[in-house]
Amino acid sequence: MLRLPFFIRTTGRSLTETFKPEANDLKNVNLPFVKDFVDIPFDAKNKWLSIFGSVEEDREDLAKKQNELKKWFNKLEVNIIKGSGNLGVIASGFPATQLENENLVNNMSLLKLLTVYPLPEELILNFLKDKERVLVIDQGEPLLEMLTRDLAHRHGLNKQIAGKLNGYVRSIGEFRDDDLKIAINAFKNNTPVYNFPRHKQIAKAPAFKEDDGFRILVECVRDAVKETGCRPLYCSDAGQASRIPETPEIENLLHMETTMGCAISYLAGGIEAYKRRGEDIPFKGIAYIGDSDFFHSAFPGICEAVAKDLPMLMLLVDNQGAVSTGKQAHFGMKINNQIKQLSIKKILQALDVSSLEEASIVDKKDLALKLVKGLKHNGFAVLIVHTE
């Protein structure tokens, strides 16, 4: 059985107006943890608004600024047209460079866009005018393709525009193997593909090596959980932890991976739901948070957990850099003489975290003791773990 926790966030307005406890209209709903909606302990009807008045007031100014940007983008020299021919390709980002490097657009005209929104409409219109057909290639959702189709329609240009929406370009996943070559050939032959061949290797995070510091930490966490007998709910922001499910022997030590900055907040939401119902919390929240993530976006959730002293263990993994994206520096590191280095530990001490410890993977005995202590703590516990 899969144990996949999820949380529902609603506004006070919809909660008040759509949920009728007296009608027992949710009696057939069986959520994994909370079996009912938790009422918000204040009048949220006037505190949660779908749109702020200032958004409408500023909309006109925003539209003017976007029009100015369009004019600038039309003349920007980083948006370039290369080659010539009655067949054209519009591409942005890495695919545009790949098309050139692999010589896939010979005898065609290529519009390389660095700026996609606001769309440089005048530039694209001039590109479209003398083309018989145009192929649009962009990574992810076909935003550029949809904007280009809309632009041509508004200006009465009856041009055949090919792309993800009509089967000429792979619509799901990153471009790998021969994806771009197949798309270009389909475009030249004016014959959509629709079903692209499976990739030779599905992109996935590699497993941890045995001596990897993060793996050593996770193995120690597994042992500490066994010793304390708690029921863990492992949560992590995107990053190193994505490799846990790919690593034998620790593959079950991640239940939920969230967007950056959300792991602590997700766990906090689950804990709050039980507290407000006066029920025992049936899990021990364990969050993996990186040092870069701490400064990047996790801090608001951490502040909430500290302020409410929520019973969870945050493992703050000190990698000395954004390890998953190239070891970029952050404010907790020595960057240069002009930028002051901040101490994560001192920041957490200033917040008055109820249980704050520090350990290293080098001393696994000390790490194990502090993990057990953090799991047994009945409040917000933080363990800073140095992996180097």
pLDDT tens digits for 240-281? 888 898 899 999 999 988 887 789 999 999 999 888 888 899
Considering only CA atoms, which of 264, 229, 246 is closest in space to residue 376? 229
Asked if residues 351 and 306 have their Cβ atoms less than 8 Å apart, the reply is yes
pLDDT > 70: percent of the chain: 84
Task: For the beta carbon of residue 274, count every other beta carbon within 10 angstroms.
Answer: 16
The CA distance from 234 to 322, in Å, is 21
Torsion of CA 21, 24, 27, 29, to 10 degrees: -50
For 59-132, strand residue ranges (E) read 80-82, 87-92, 109-113
| pLDDT tops 50 at residue 16 | no
- Amino acid (1-letter code) at residue 265: S
The CA distance from 252 to 234, in Å, is 9
The CA distance from 281 to 40, in Å, is 18
- Model confidence at 239, in pLDDT bands (50, 70, 90)? confident
pTM of the model: 0.61
Residue 55 has a pLDDT of: 67
Average pLDDT of 84-90?
93
The CA distance from 171 to 163, in Å, is 9
If 0-12 CB within 10 Å is exposed, 13-18 middle and 19+ buried, where does residue 55 land?
exposed
Cα dihedral sign, 113-115-119-125? negative
pLDDT in tens, 305-345: 999 999 999 999 988 877 666 667 777 888 888 888 889 99
The CA distance from 68 to 48, in Å, is 34
Asked if residues 70 and 120 have their Cβ atoms less than 8 Å apart, the reply is yes
pLDDT in tens, 287-306: 999 888 888 888 999 999 99
Residue 17 has a pLDDT of: 41
> In angstroms, what CA-CA distances link 251 with 215, 225, 233, 287?
11, 15, 14, 16
Asked if residues 213 and 247 have their Cβ atoms less than 8 Å apart, the reply is no
pLDDT > 90: percent of the chain: 47
Domain boundaries, the chain: 1-59, 78-188, 213-386
The CATH architecture of the domain made up of 213-386 is 3-Layer(aba) Sandwich (3.40)
CA 120 to chain centre: 28
| pLDDT tops 60 at residue 30 | no
Gyration radius of the chain's alpha carbons:
26
Provide the CATH number for the domain formed by 78-188 in this structure.
3.40.50.920
The CA distance from 301 to 187, in Å, is 48
- Amino acid (1-letter code) at residue 189: N
- Model confidence at 173, in pLDDT bands (50, 70, 90)? confident
Residue 331 has a pLDDT of: 79
- Amino acid (1-letter code) at residue 386: H
The rounded mean pLDDT for the chain is 84
Q: Do domains 78-188 and 213-386 have the same CATH topology?
A: yes
If 0-12 CB within 10 Å is exposed, 13-18 middle and 19+ buried, where does residue 209 land?
exposed
The CA distance from 267 to 32, in Å, is 14
